[in-house]
Amino acid sequence: MAVSVQHMHPVAHWPLVLGVLRRLEVATVIDHLLPPHPAHVLSTGRGVEALVLAILDGDHALYKVGQRLEERGMVSLLQPGLTRSSLHDYRLGHILDALFAANLNRVFGAIALKALAVYAIPTPWLHQDTTTMALYGAYGHWFSVMGMAKYRRLAGKPS
């Protein structure tokens, strides 16, 4: 049986990374937190997959993501019916804005919990501390012990 090859694309590590993202259902988790808008061809979750693949390939420019995925023959694997033109920098930027607005810690936490469940990692206890503390000027001992988050709550300021 003869096999003819029409196109050859260097895919490097992308299928492996995409396989891990799919096993963790990263796109599903993100789309649950940020429901897709019917007007958008590219879902937020699939856009994140595209961004992860592009970043791990060394291209950080949003306008190059679609081109890079197309060169590697990966566009059709991301989402059925997806074209390179759907991976434009405006949509990818909108995805990054939506992730930030949804609270990145919340998104990260949901994906981390999914990873713990999928890989059956024993968790006798969980601790996720994403607090950032910045201190300026003179302050009393009670402030350094309590930390910035508690100080803001006591002062009635948003975190």
What pLDDT, in 10s, does the model give residues 27-58?
A: 999 999 998 888 888 889 999 999 998 888 88
Which segment of 8-12, 110-114, 146-150 scores lowest on mean pLDDT?
Answer: 146-150
| pLDDT class of 139 with cuts at 50, 70, 90 | low
pTM to 2 decimal places: 0.70
Lookup: tokens for 139: 């302050």
Q: What is residue 99's predicted lDDT score, i.e. its pLDDT? A: 92
**Token match 């309590």: residue?**
146
Cα separation, 64 vs 113, whole angstroms = 31
pLDDT-based confidence at 97, cuts 50/70/90?
Answer: very high
Structure tokens at 53: 């693949």
Residue 114's pLDDT band, with cuts at 50, 70 and 90, is very high
Per-residue pLDDT tens over the stretch 50-82:
999 888 888 778 888 888 888 888 888 888 888
Q: Please give the DSSP secondary-structure letter assigned to residue 37.
A: P
Helical H segments across the chain, by residue range:
14-23, 26-33, 44-56, 65-71, 75-78, 89-101, 104-118, 141-146, 148-155
Which amino acid, residue 31? D
List of residues 6+ apart from 118 with CB closer than 8 A: 23, 24, 25
For 103-138, letters b (16+ CB in 10 Å) and e give: eeeebeebbeebbeeeeeeeeeeeeeeeeeeeeeee
Please check the confidence at residue 25 and state whether its pLDDT lies above 90: yes
